[in-house]
Amino acid sequence: MHDLDTHEHWIETADGRLYARTWAPRAGAAGSPIILLHDSLGSVALWRGFPAALCSRSGRQVVAYDRLGFGRSDAHPGRLAPDFVSREADTGFAAVRRQLGIGRFALFGHSVGGGMAVNCAARFPDDCAALITESAQAFVEARTIQGIEEARELFKEGAQRERLAKYHGDKAAWVLDAWIGSWLSPAFASWSLEPVLPRVACPVLAIHGAEDEYGSPLHPALIGRLAAGPARVEVMAGVRHVPHREREEDVIGLVSGFLEGIA
């Protein structure tokens, strides 16, 4: 989009460099920047045109980054720890904020990125203006496990692995194992956002597809019920796990409307 300025950034961390990209209206941004947190197989590139469209519609700067081990960021030094969802708030997310000079912010997290966004909002309550979760898992549900097991079979096909390598290069095998191995691990079975949500004081919008193959509408309902701030739950009929791709205009409209009046 010609009315936007787009820049690439390299974020230094103790474990390696992270790749980040920003979009901002040339006329000047209004309100807190929106920081995007991607899903378990995601990257900046896999957001496709969504960040630019969200920036243009909302009038806010949009920031997306590849977590360590994903996309153009450096390889992860090992396996994900069982607390990897909460840990992101003090590692990659904190580094992005520090090096890009971001004070007050809004969050948009997709899938596991939604769980990470919840933890970021809870960790930095004075700076978090708003939280949007999309298809976020709030606990380990039977539907979640079933969806991941079906995906594991799908990714045995060479074409699917090649598609993943297109975005993650030689890190693709690690990315796949980080997703499947983490979520199917017995050590992760009791994971939940329940202890964290009461520390989320900002306004919350929880978006979820009614046909999401990785989690039922119980997930956004839990987020809406336990968050301490004012919460709105939007379950989109006929939508699966990626609402921002399946119904981009509707999601952008929901998010932009929700953020109106929030500094």
Domain 4-138+192-259 has CATH 3.40.1160.10: no
* Selection from 214, 200, 198 nearest residue 40 by Cα: 214
Residue 158's pLDDT is: 86
> What SS3 class is residue 83?
coil
Question: In the chain, how many H helices and how many E strands?
Answer: 10, 8
How does pLDDT run across 212-253, given as a tens digit for each residue? 999 999 999 999 999 999 999 999 999 999 999 999 999 999
Ranges of beta strands (E only) in the chain are 4-13, 16-25, 34-37, 62-65, 105-110, 128-134, 204-209, 231-236
Asked whether the beta carbons of 67 and 18 are under 8 A apart, the reply is: yes
Write out the DSSP string of 51-67. Answer: HHHHHHHH-S-EEEEPP
Asked whether the beta carbons of 219 and 208 are under 8 A apart, the reply is: yes
Burial of 242 (0-12, 13-18, 19+ CB in 10 A): buried
Residue 103's pLDDT is: 98
- Could you tell me how far CA 60 lies from the centroid of its own chain? 17
pTM for the full predicted model:
0.97
Ranges of beta strands (E only) in 27-176 are 34-37, 62-65, 105-110, 128-134
Chain mean pLDDT for the chain: 97
Asked whether the beta carbons of 94 and 117 are under 8 A apart, the reply is: no
Q: Which residue has the tokens 């981009």?
A: 248
Residue 122's pLDDT is: 98
Please tell me the number of Cα atoms within 13 Å of 56 on its side-chain side.
Answer: 11
Residue 219's pLDDT is: 98
Residues of the chain with pLDDT under 50: none
Residue 114's pLDDT is: 98
Rounded distance, CA 71 to CA 41, Å? 9
